């Protein structure tokens, strides 16, 4: 359907606003939608990233539809929106949530554009501005209805496919627990797993690994953690999600790294121990975030002196700083440089290792020197050298320095290894 030229002229400002702020527009829509429909961010990192992609992919499509007024019947959804609609049934996200997200997205677009008009002196005022918003709102509504109808069709098709393929009920039940829809009693009945316990979530994954190999690693992990019960669901053909009910005496990550043999190519991410059904969800989110960061920012690097297998087990405690840095890696890189200067360069690897041990020993020169097998005077000289480089006294209680040091292995991964030239 097309509209007249005067109407088209009235919405030129909408297209200009979209072109000038595509990322901001997508971010605003994303925040508005997940605030109203939190299941898009609570059912796993994959769904969250897919939904972010949808918000970005719709921006140019909406701009074109609203600007021209042409809403073709049966037009295809953006690929990202089609992909998300197909993922939702298996993720346990209801059709009503999908429909609500389209309504919220349309309202967020219109509200944000209206605020932008009020703050722009070059746009018309009074009746002309009201007419412009009326035309935009009408076209946006028609586009939203057409796009939602297509998304609902895709959702129904995938839902029917899953029903006929015999997807295990346990997967749907787990998704309902993660979304908060299933009470403890019903969850325990459907899953055969007690919810009012101390849970640790994990992900076992590896490119090319078979489900049998992943389950074998998970079984070894369960034995080492002395878990009383377990719950496992395949996430895809190369990843296994799960939970253990672990006692207070369960070994920590360092002991697991020392005791557990993990085949090459397979990795384990762990959340922290959490209690009850809310803890079941929290520790799962931690394990997923750890897996994501381990893949993207922590290739299997091993600290000096540890077993080769240590890099295959990553805890959320190893990546807490990265969780925040990953939101803006460029900003994190600038922060690291401002705090550490040239200390991130390969020639200072000895100083960095000295600082790492010193930080772990809470600033004790004696204990740090003993671990490094050097004289205390040598360690003090290294600390003084590091102090000269960062242009301020090094203090084990300096939060900014500690944070920058933790981040430098990620933000300057190419510059944190190499021949040492510190001469100490």
What pLDDT, on the 0 to 100 scale, is given for residue 167?
47
Cα dihedral across residues 8, 9, 11, 13: positive or negative: positive
Residue 230 parent element (H or E): strand 229-236
Greatest alpha-carbon pair distance for the chain in Å reads: 84
Q: Is there a single domain that holds both residue 19 and residue 111? A: yes
What pLDDT, on the 0 to 100 scale, is given for residue 275?
92
Give me the helix-helix angle, 349-360 and 399-411, nearest 10°. Answer: 130
- Bigger pLDDT: 84 vs 7: 84
Nearest-angstrom CA–CA distance, 99 and 97: 5
Q: Is there a single domain that holds both residue 230 and residue 287? A: yes
> Can you tell me the mean pLDDT for 255-277?
90
For residue 12, give the CATH number of its domain. Answer: 1.10.490
CA 3, chain centre distance (Å)? 42
Determine contact, residues 260/220, Cβ cutoff 8 Å: yes
> Can you tell me the mean pLDDT for 274-303?
80
What pLDDT, on the 0 to 100 scale, is given for residue 172?
85
In eight-state DSSP terms, residue 197 is: S
Domain boundary among 165, 199, 223: 165
Structural domain range at position 244: 175-320
For residue 299, give the CATH number of its domain. Answer: 3.30.70.600
**pLDDT averaged over every residue in the chain:** 82
**Range with the poorest average pLDDT among 25-29, 80-84, 157-161:** 157-161
Q: Is there a single domain that holds both residue 65 and residue 100? A: yes
CA 378, chain centre distance (Å)? 42
Residue 22 parent element (H or E): helix 22-36
**pLDDT by residue (tens digit) across 110-144?**
898 888 877 665 555 555 778 888 888 888 888 88
Write out the two tokens for 353.
């290792």
**Structure confidence at residue 375 as a pLDDT band (50, 70, 90):** very high
Nearest-angstrom CA–CA distance, 385 and 403: 20
Q: Is there a single domain that holds both residue 140 and residue 180? A: no
Please state the domain count of the chain: 3
**Structure confidence at residue 163 as a pLDDT band (50, 70, 90):** low
Domain boundary among 107, 138, 165: 165
Nearest-angstrom CA–CA distance, 413 and 408: 7
**pLDDT by residue (tens digit) across 341-362?**
888 888 888 998 899 899 888 8
Q: Is there a single domain that holds both residue 181 and residue 297? A: yes
> Can you tell me the mean pLDDT for 65-86?
78
Answer yes or no: is pLDDT of 166 > 90: no
Q: Is there a single domain that holds both residue 312 and residue 343? A: no
**Range with the poorest average pLDDT among 19-33, 75-89, 194-208, 291-305:** 291-305
Residue 111 lies in a domain: yes
Q: Is there a single domain that holds both residue 101 and residue 237? A: no
Q: Is there a single domain that holds both residue 69 and residue 87? A: yes
**Structure confidence at residue 381 as a pLDDT band (50, 70, 90):** very high
Backbone dihedral angles phi then psi of residue 92, each to the nearest 5 degrees: 80, 15
- Bigger pLDDT: 331 vs 340: 340
Residue 170 lies in a domain: no
Provide CB contacts within 8 A for 223, sequence distance 6+: none
Separation in Å, CA 412 to CA 321, 335, 341, 343, 415: 14, 11, 11, 11, 5
Write out the two tokens for 4.
């007249």
Residue 349 lies in a domain: yes
Answer yes or no: is pLDDT of 158 > 60: yes
Write out the two tokens for 6.
């005067």
**Structure confidence at residue 281 as a pLDDT band (50, 70, 90):** very high
Answer yes or no: is pLDDT of 303 > 50: no
Cα dihedral across residues 384, 347, 422, 298: positive or negative: positive
> Can you tell me the mean pLDDT for 362-389?
93
Neighbours of 405 (CB within 10 A): 22
What pLDDT, on the 0 to 100 scale, is given for residue 125?
55
Residue 421 lies in a domain: no
Task: Dump the DSSP string for 38-77.
Answer: THHHHS-HHHHHHHHHHHHHHHHHHHHHHHH----TTPPP
Nearest-angstrom CA–CA distance, 410 and 353: 15
Answer yes or no: is pLDDT of 301 > 50: no
Task: Dump the DSSP string for 336-398.
Answer: HHHHHGGGGSGGGHHHHHHHHHHHHTTT-HHHHHHHHTS-HHHHHHHHHHHHHHHTS---TT-
**Which range, 126-130, 168-172, 296-300, 378-382, has the best average confidence (pLDDT)?**
378-382
Backbone dihedral angles phi then psi of residue 89, each to the nearest 5 degrees: -60, -45
Residue 180 lies in a domain: yes
> Can you tell me the mean pLDDT for 336-342?
85
Q: Helix or strand or coil: residue 203?
A: strand
Domain boundary among 268, 303, 320: 320
Nearest-angstrom CA–CA distance, 373 and 333: 32
Neighbours of 344 (CB within 10 A): 24
- Bigger pLDDT: 301 vs 279: 279
């Amino acid at each position: 359907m097309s509209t007249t030229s005067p109407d088209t002229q009235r919405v030129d400002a909408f297209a200009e606003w979209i072109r000038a702020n595509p990322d901001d527009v997508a971010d605003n829509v994303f925040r508005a939608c997940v605030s109203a429909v939190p299941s898009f961010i609570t059912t796993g990192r994959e769904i969250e990233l897919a939904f972010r992609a949808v918000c970005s992919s719709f921006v140019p499509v909406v701009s074109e539809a609203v600007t021209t007024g042409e809403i073709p019947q049966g037009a295809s959804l953006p690929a990202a929106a089609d992909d998300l609609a197909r993922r939702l049934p298996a993720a346990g996200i209801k059709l009503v949530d999908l429909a609500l997200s389209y309504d919220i997205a349309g309202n967020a677009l219109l509200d944000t554009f209206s605020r932008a008009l009020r703050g722009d002196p070059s746009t018309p005022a009074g009746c002309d501005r009201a007419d412009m918003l009326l035309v935009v709102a009408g076209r946006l509504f028609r586009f939203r209805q057409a796009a939602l109808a297509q998304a609902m069709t895709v959702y129904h098709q995938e839902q029917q496919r899953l029903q006929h393929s015999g997807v295990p009920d346990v997967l749907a039940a787990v998704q309902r627990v993660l979304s908060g829809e299933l009470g403890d009693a019903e969850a325990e009945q459907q899953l055969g797993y007690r919810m009012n316990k101390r849970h640790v979530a994990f992900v076992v994954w590896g490119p090319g690994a078979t489900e049998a190999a992943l389950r074998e690693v998970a079984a070894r992990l369960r034995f080492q953690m002395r878990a009383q019960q377990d719950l496992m669901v395949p996430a895809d053909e190369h990843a296994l999600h799960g939970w253990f009910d672990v006692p207070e005496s369960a070994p920590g990550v360092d002991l697991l790294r020392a005791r557990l043999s993990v085949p090459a190519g397979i990795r384990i991410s762990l959340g922290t121990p959490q209690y009850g059904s809310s803890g079941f969800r929290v520790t799962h989110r931690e394990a997923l975030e750890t897996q994501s960061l381990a893949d993207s920012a922590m290739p299997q690097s091993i600290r000096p002196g540890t077993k080769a297998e240590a890099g295959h087990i990553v805890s959320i405690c190893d990546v807490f700083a990265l969780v925040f840095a990953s939101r803006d890696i460029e900003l994190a890189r600038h922060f690291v440089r401002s705090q550490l200067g040239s200390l991130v360069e390969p020639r200072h690897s000895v100083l960095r290792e000295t600082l790492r041990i010193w930080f772990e020993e809470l600033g004790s020169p004696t204990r740090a020197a003993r671990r490094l097998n050097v004289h205390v005077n040598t360690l003090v000289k290294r600390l003084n050298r590091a102090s000269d480089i960062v242009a301020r006294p090094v203090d084990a209680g300096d939060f900014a320095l500690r944070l920058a040091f933790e981040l430098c292995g990620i933000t300057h991964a190419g510059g944190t290894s190499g021949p040492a030239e510190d001469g100490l």
